[in-house]
Amino acid sequence: MQIGRWDVRSLDFGRFRLDGGAMFGVVPRVVWEREAPPDALNRIELALRCLLLRDGVRTVLVDCGVGDKDGPLFREMFALDDAGRSLCELLAEQGLGPADVTDLVLTHLHFDHAGGAVRLEGDRGVPALPNARIHLQRRQWEWAQQPTLRDRASYLKENLELLRELDLHLLEGPSELFPGLSLRVVDGHTPGMQLVELDGEAGPGLVHCADLVPTAAHLPLPWVMGYDLFPLSVVEEKQALYQSHGDGSSWLVFEHDPRLAAARVDTRGRRPVIVESLERL
Ligand SMILES: [Zn+2]
């Protein structure tokens, strides 16, 4: 898909599972299970999807999945799909090698978004994308060094230790990172999470919703996750997102939706309505 000057592709690593109750916060199971049927352990299926953006000058990845450093216990707990593909394989399908990626935008540092930035070589961590500059909000970086008791399970120490040695570009708020590619900053899920927005110029724009709207089931304003640190802020930030992108023209990209990679959504009525959707970009 072309959005303004950017060629956009979705890279699909595979599936994992998280507790359905945690994914839907105060929404009762009898309501959410219609949207996301749980397994016997109450877990729902989720995608691990990242975006590849190219404008002829830069090759940008937005998030990079869980990575391949985790042991069998971890993989079993989250039902990480071993049939899923590695970052190398996904890039190769696009005719790229890891060294071709110039920039990695990390929306935030939760393990399912940032773990793939480092891979193991023997017992040593090395950058998965050796030439990539890593763009991250400073507030998220600082938060991740000392998360609270409530959210520290979302950050893996080994990921952070290895990231520290890479080419980190710590950002101080919203900005236009590259021509036609801007960063919106939201704080309700975790402080300093950033969303990538592409300027459609004459056509539709695009926003990568990260964990603000992780799946299409989370489109209704009160459907916010139990994982969110500040749920009322999430509701307000979704309202603001819909002010910019909710008239049915922009593409909303869902990082974790097991079926839909992106949708154009009209949020102006009582409930959001999907106008058009795509399983991959
Ligand atoms: Zn997250």
Q: What is the mean pLDDT of the chain?
A: 93
**Backbone phi, psi, residue 268, to 5°:** -80, -15
CA 56 – ligand 1 centroid, Å: 30
What distance in Å separates the CA atoms of residue 132 and residue 14, rounded to the nearest whole number?
A: 23
- CA 90 to centroid of chain Cα atoms: 16
The pair of structure tokens assigned to 82 is 């071993």
Q: Which residues contact 277 (CB under 8 A, 6 or more apart)?
A: 216, 260, 262, 263, 264
Mean pLDDT, range 56-65, rounded to an integer: 96
In sequence order, what are the residues at sequence separation of 6 or more whose Cβ sits closer than 8 angstroms to the Cβ of residue 112? 16, 48, 65, 66
How far apart, in whole angstroms, are the C-alpha atoms of residue 229 and residue 186?
12
Say how many Å lie between the CA of residue 108 and the centre of ligand 1: 7
pLDDT at residue number 83:
56
Place of tokens 């060094």: 145
End-to-end Cα spacing for the chain: 6
**The CATH homologous superfamily of the domain defined by 2-278:** Ribonuclease Z/Hydroxyacylglutathione hydrolase-like (3.60.15.10)
Q: What long-range pairs does 270-275 form, CB within 8 A, spacing at least 24?
A: 271/220, 272/219, 272/220, 272/242, 272/246, 273/248, 274/216, 274/219, 275/248
CA of 128 to the centre of ligand 1 (A): 21
Please state, in angstroms and rounded to a whole number, the distance separating the CA atoms of residues 193 and 112.
14
What is the whole-number distance in angstroms between the Cα of residue 274 and the centre of ligand 1? 24
* Domain assignments of the chain as residue spans, ordered by start: 2-278
Separation between Cα atoms, residue 224 and residue 182, nearest integer Å: 24
Lowest mean pLDDT among 32-46, 108-122, 242-256: 108-122
Q: Is 278 exposed, middle or buried, given 0-12, 13-18 or 19+ CB atoms closer than 10 A?
A: middle
pLDDT attached to residue 159: 82
Handedness of CA 19, 21, 24, 30 (dihedral sign): positive
Question: How close is the Cα of 211 to the center of ligand 1, in Å?
Answer: 5
Distance 202 CA to ligand 1 centre (A): 32
Residue in this structure with the two tokens 């990172």, named with its chain if needed: 177
User: Could you tell me the two tokens for 210?
Assistant: 């990260």
Residue 123 CA, ligand 1 centroid: distance in Å: 27
pLDDT at site 71: 72
Residues shown for the chain: 281
Per the CB < 8 A criterion, the answer to whether 212 and 237 are in contact is yes
Condensed to tens digits (0 to 9), the pLDDT of residues 158-217 reads 888 888 888 899 999 999 999 999 999 999 999 999 999 999 999 999 999 999 999 999
pTM: 0.94
